[in-house]
Structure 1
Amino acid sequence: MSKHISNILLIYTGGTIGMIKNPKTGALMAFDFDKLQKNIPELRLLEHKISTISFEEPIDSSNMNIRYYQKITKMIEDNYEDFDGFVVLHGSDTMSYSSSVISFMLENLSKPIIFTGSQLPIGDLRTDAKENLITSIQLAGLKENGKSVITEVGLYFEYKLYRANRTTKLNAEHFEAFDSYNYPPLAESGVHLNINYPYLKKVNRRKKLLVHQDLSDQILVLKIFPGIGKEVLAHILDTSHIKAIILETFGSGNANTEDWFIHLLKKAIKEGKYVVNVTQCIGGSVNMGHYETSQDLKKIGVISGKDITTEAAVAKLMYLLPKDLSPKVFKTIFETSLRGEMK
């Protein structure tokens, strides 16, 4: 096999990209990925060798959970040595969450895992599915000197490849559904595939892949709003089985400065819960202590999410909570970039 030809494994989990319309009824039905090249003849023009694997029962991405994350990761682990790259076909609604989680589950990754999907079914006349799928395969198969160019989990949608754990879905109507406000695209597809080499993740290819299957779902995301009630917050923070709370705060990490608000958060932290501060803004970073309205949060031990997305914060907590870490070490590790998810 030529050093430019790659073995690519397509993993279909579900989602719009895997649907086609019944020409008689107009109803959407699941696409048979065993007949992929028959339905998408353009794939024959690609130089790469493509294999497919699918969930026995494809799911809507709204139903994605830890069990399915483990399933995707197991599929990749079981086939890791036999393939040069992987393309995960996934519903767009929760793709940023899933791809972020997978990025943490796979340590020392040295091969591309590209998540993609579509806004319209693959059989639709105006579909975006074909371009997203074809370019994702090209990116997953891209090699230089016989080695993969992309060595991380990416998300490709509408002509741009992003670092997956930097993305957020912003639009349910347009083909440009995703963006990454705090990190540039890794690649852009135009007349040529333009790779943004300085922003690609650098890896030590000699290190063996480590797969982390233990995840925790004992996480709460709480969006702070002006006028949030004391009793409501007290009730939420008192939930015994929650181990971590992601606070979506204002601007650069600002929140209520009233005594009761700070006291409730301090009490939760003393009880062993982790509180992570992320910004509600699509772009920008938490900078606790920069304004008076965040100084108290810093003093009581709230963890800074810096410029992490809420999706990646959820993923990182899922990954870190099962590990036996002291609160101090946990805070230090969370505030450190592990997979390129933050500055």
Structure 2
Amino acid sequence: MVKDYATDTLKAFDFKKLLKHIPELYQLDCAIDTVSFKKPIDSSNMNPAHWVDLATIIESHYDTHDGFVVLHGSDTMSYTASAIGYMLENLTKPVIFTGSQLPIGDLRTDAKENLITSVQIAALTEKGKPVIQEVGLYFEYKLLRANRTTKINAEHFEAFQSPNYPPLAESGVHLKVFKEALLPRKRQKRLVVHKSMDTNVGILKLFPGLSPQLLQNVLDTPGLKALILETYGSGNAPTESWVTDILKKAIQRGIHIISVTQCVGGGVLMGQYQTSQHLKKLHVVNGKDMTSEAAITKLMYLLGRGVSGKSFKTIFETSIRGEMA
């Protein structure tokens, strides 16, 4: 966004004026092309159809460009960046998401540093090959694996955190890349872009006082194929018989139930405590240390690919883009 000082409101940024607002980009040793949606949207309006548009833009420029920077509102950036990571199979070029907490043009904006460094990261090469070959999210001096991120602050410049995985790079006086944290380099294969995302999914956060009616009504949602349960601690849930009965019947109907922790850090250790043994016996899918953003987008991706019920649990519990330990 950019501030309109005449009306004191925020309006959509005109990407054609990118270099005018940030002339420092001319100093980078790379050529920059800009592409934008015909009608810019607020990130709160982001949806899977827009993810497909983004993936298609990257696909159409993949052979002619060395790297990509996606400017995105921070509210849903972790969702979009996680989804794009799943959708781009055999990715061997950097796709870096970034944004800002204050709009371009604001006196104290963080937009300039975030964008300049993101472009620099996207242009990094070693022996003629990109250093970063995955989807990352750069914010406030840190490059994080996108599908490991979650937005943790609406006011501070350090808006994003990767609670269960270290940074891929840090920006200080020098730009330091932590190669041991990067995904292993893949053999050059043709990029495959998956554009079918199934949105018949849901998330329910457990809380003291959750009623049988609410849980049942959520699971009775027409067309629902999978539900993420944000469980307590390391994957714990109430042991009352109605909880087990409702989940068991849903699983028998073919609905996938996935457990992720509602804690910011850590993950699900199903069966460690007595209060998660009933979920383990029901063969609830273990989301391990995934964020809710990575889990819900992985659900959409796997269901969109038509993964069968028999293999779904095994595939979901396997890391495919570095999203889980």
Structure-2-length-normalised TM-score: 0.98
Give yes or no for the alignment of 1:33 onto 2:12: no
Q: Are 1:111 and 2:108 an aligned pair?
A: no
Equivalent position to 1:168, from 140, 150, 154: 150
Give the Cα–Cα distance (whole angstroms) in 2 for the partners of residues 176 and 72 of structure 1: 25
Q: Deviations over 1:128-185 (max 9, x none)?
A: 0000000000000001111100000000000000000000000000000000010000
Aligned to 1:201: 183
Give the paired residue count.
Answer: 325
2:98 and 2:301 map into 1 onto residues whose CA distance is 23
Give the one of 188, 192, 199 matched to 1:210.
192
* 1:237 is the counterpart of 2:219: yes
SS of the residue corresponding to residue 62 of structure 1 reads helix
Give 1:187's aligned residue. 169
1:11-50 alignment runs, 5 A limit: 19-50=1-32
Q: Counterpart of 2:264 in 1: which secondary structure?
A: coil
Contact 2:21/2:104 (8 A) holds in 1: no
Contact 1:109–1:203 under 8 Å retained in 2: no
Structure 1 position 322, deviation (Å): 2.3
Deviation at 1:208, TM superposition (A): 1.2
- 1:258 and 2:240 matched: yes
Residue 22 of structure 1 contacts residue 29 of structure 1 at CA under 8 Å; is this kept in 2?
yes
Deviations 1:53-87 (A, max 9, x none): 00000101111111100000000000000000000
Matched, 1:332 2:314: yes
AA matched with 1:126: R
Amino acid at match of 1:240: P
* 1:281-332 deviation line (CA, Å, top 9, x unaligned): 0000101111110011011110000000000001100100123333230100
The DSSP-based 3-state class of the residue aligned with 1:226 is coil
* Residue of structure 1 equivalent to 2:324: 342
SS at 2:165 equivalent: coil
Which stretch shifts more, 40-49 or 173-182?
A: 40-49
Q: Secondary structure at the match of 2:243?
A: helix
Match of 1:54 in 2: 36
TM-score for the superposition, normalised by structure 1? 0.93
Residue by residue over 1:96-124, the C-alpha shift from the partner in whole angstroms, topping out at 9 and shown as x without a partner, is: 00000000000010000000000000110
Residue pairs, 1:126-141, within 5 angstroms: 126-141=108-123
| Unmatched segments (≥5 aa) in structure 1 | 1-18
For 2:9 and 2:238, the matched residues in 1 are separated by 50
Partner of residue 207, structure 2:
225
Q: Give distance in 2, aligned partners of 1:91 and 1:23.
A: 20
Residue from 134, 156, 159 that aligns with 2:141: 159
Give the structure 1 partner of residue 65 of structure 2: 83
- CA–CA separation in structure 1 for the residues paired with 2:168 and 2:82: 15
2: CA distance, partners of 1:23 / 1:225: 44
Q: What is the CA-CA distance between 1:22 and the residue it aligns to?
A: 2.8
Does residue 282 (structure 1) correspond to residue 264 (structure 2)? The answer is yes
